[in-house]
Amino acid sequence: MHALKVEHLRKLYPSMQAKGQEVLAIENVSLEVNKNEFCSILGHSGCGKTTLLNLIAGFEVPTSGRIECAGKEVNGPGADRSMVFQDYALFPWLTVYDNIAFGLKVKGTTSKEMNEIVNRFAALVGLSQFIHHYPHQLSGGMRQRVSIARALVVDPTVLLMDEPFAALDAQNRALMQAEMIRILNEESKTVVLVTHSIEEAINLSDVIVVMTRRPGKVKKIIRVPEPRKMVEDTPPYLAIRRQIRDLIAGEHDDSEGR
């Protein structure tokens, strides 16, 4: 069974510019993600990739089409699809510990069990030393680690990530990508990542879904030959990067036509 199945998804928004008109954000998007597979959704900004993620998370309702998570139809948000946000969305009034524990508290886990789980995930993301800090005392990279741990703690069927490393500087981004690979080696997860970085998609994914621009459709689905083992600047790496770059470059900017 697929961990996540998206069928003929379509989303219309009321237009912000012209009253009464509607904007087609995504059209006829279908994709399947297998268990423990890492799937990246790649496209220009404004191609509806975040809309797609919000639909999967249940934050928004599709105009038509259906989404299945582990065989169950999605209607509304749930802990089986926890999300890592670009702006971290950590609760500023909670310490690192309590942020990570949030999903467990909601579920009503006993404090002994909670303690054990939270400590395990804090260690997994390398934050054991900072468990009593507040988010505002942490750097961007550390905040994103908290956010990842917080999302993993509820043991989601699919982990959703919305451009999680886009707000970080280049060094931190590379570091966090390596960390993500390490974390997934220890804690197998099905992941759907939205990104506009070709390199990030190649480094992390089993499958890359390249989207078209406005309305967002699936342009091509590419399998990475050696997932998470691709070495930069080797011929296979360059080949796949060129392939994706050409696909995306074909989607030239037509933002005047908005």
Partner 1 sequence: MQILNYLKQSRRLVLLIVLLLIWEFSSRFILDKTESILLPPPSGVAVGGFELMQSGEIWKHILDSLSREFFAFCYASIAIPIGIVMGCFKSVNEQVDPLIEILRPIPPIAWIPLSILWFGVGNTQNHFIIFLGIFFPILLNTIDAVKNVEPNLIRAARCLGAGSWGVITRVILRAALPQIVTGIRIGLGVGWMALVAAELVGANSGLGFLINDARTVLRTDYILVGMLAIGVIGLSLDRAIRFTAQKLMPWSRALNA
Q: Choose between 3 and 83: whose C-beta lies nearer to partner 1.
A: 83
Q: Choose between 6 and 210: whose C-beta lies nearer to partner 1.
A: 6
Q: Does 135 bind partner 1 (CB under 8 A)?
A: yes
Query: Which member of 134, 174, 175, 187 binds partner 1 (CB under 8 A)?
Result: 134
Number of residues in contact with partner 1 under rule CB under 8 A: 29
Virtual torsion, Cα 44, 45, 50, 51, nearest 10 deg: -90
Q: Choose between 19 and 136: whose C-beta lies nearer to partner 1.
A: 136
Q: Does 79 bind partner 1 (CB under 8 A)?
A: yes
Q: Does 78 bind partner 1 (CB under 8 A)?
A: yes
Q: Does 59 bind partner 1 (CB under 8 A)?
A: yes
Q: Does 150 bind partner 1 (CB under 8 A)?
A: yes
Report, in Å, the least distance between residue 156 CB and partner 1. 8
Q: Does 13 bind partner 1 (CB under 8 A)?
A: no
Query: Which member of 93, 231, 246, 254 binds partner 1 (CB under 8 A)?
Result: 93
Q: Choose between 31 and 151: whose C-beta lies nearer to partner 1.
A: 151
Q: Does 258 bind partner 1 (CB under 8 A)?
A: no
Q: Does 103 bind partner 1 (CB under 8 A)?
A: yes
| 126 phi/psi in degrees, rounded to 5 | 75, 35
CA angle 88, 144, 100 (to 5 degrees): 85
Query: Which member of 77, 140, 141, 227 binds partner 1 (CB under 8 A)?
Result: 77
Q: Does 131 bind partner 1 (CB under 8 A)?
A: no
Report, in Å, the least distance between residue 79 CB and partner 1. 3
Q: Does 160 bind partner 1 (CB under 8 A)?
A: yes
Q: Choose between 124 and 160: whose C-beta lies nearer to partner 1.
A: 160
- DSSP calls for the chain: --SEEEEEEEEEEE-SSSTT-EEEEEEEEEEEE-TT-EEEEE--TTSSHHHHHHHHHTSS--SEEEEEETTEEP-S--GGG-EE-TT----TTS-HHHHHHHHHHHHT--HHHHHHHHHHHHHHTT-GGGTT--GGGS-HHHHHHHHHHHHHHT--SEEEEESTTTTS-HHHHHHHHHHHHHHHHHS--EEEEEES-HHHHHHH-SEEEEEPSSSB-EEEEEE-SSTTTPPTTSHHHHHHHHHHHHHHHTS---GGG-
Q: Are 179 and 141 in contact (CB under 8 A)?
A: no
Which parts of this chain interact with partner 1 (CB under 8 A)? Answer: 57-59, 76-79, 81-83, 85, 87, 89-93, 102-103, 105-107, 134-136, 150-151, 154, 160
